[in-house]
Amino acid sequence: MNKITTIKERIRQFAEKQNITKELFFSSIGMTSANFRGNKLNRPINSDAIEKLVSVYPNVDLHWLITGEHKKEVVDALNESAAVYKKETITSDILALRNGQEIIMRQNAEILEKLNRGILKDLIKAEKDSVGKSKTNKER
């Protein structure tokens, strides 16, 4: 196993696994990506940055961040929690989409009903006008 040797390298690895750009990730912890490359990569990171990382990303494994080693129990718990979270998130997203779809379908039905009523009114009015004009022309 290729052990990542510094905390900054592990933070960089963690950043790569997030679903956001590195710039956004580093900005979210009050730093820039420049602090994680070149000569700055070998400089120590301050505790404020680690505190900010943990507060913004509570799923980071602190034991791994500090030592570079995963605790089996922690990894299993995080994987299980992530799976449950993903399932719950996906389920709630699906429900929200279904609710939104039902609302849109009701609104579309209302619009079509109003449109049809309006078209029928216009047709009835046009027919009445046509009949009225015909009677007027015959009376002349």
pLDDT tens track for 103-139: 888 887 887 887 777 887 788 888 888 777 766 666 6
40-65 residue pLDDT tens:
888 888 888 899 999 999 989 888 88
What pLDDT, on a 0 to 100 scale, did the predictor assign at position 24? 92
What Cα–Cα distance (Å) separates residue 32 from each residue in 11, 15, 29, 42, 59?
12, 12, 9, 15, 21
Mean pLDDT throughout 4-18?
88
pTM for this model (two decimals): 0.48
What pLDDT, on a 0 to 100 scale, did the predictor assign at position 78? 64
- Residue 128: Cβ within 10 Å count: 10
Which DSSP symbol is given to 18? S
Amino acid at 55: S
Identify which of 63, 40, 65 has the alpha carbon closest to the alpha carbon of residue 50.
65
Amino acid at 63: H
What pLDDT, on a 0 to 100 scale, did the predictor assign at position 4? 60
- Residue 25: Cβ within 10 Å count: 23
Encode burial over 92-115: b for 16+ CB neighbours within 10 A, e otherwise: eeeeeeeeeeeeeeeeeeeeeeee
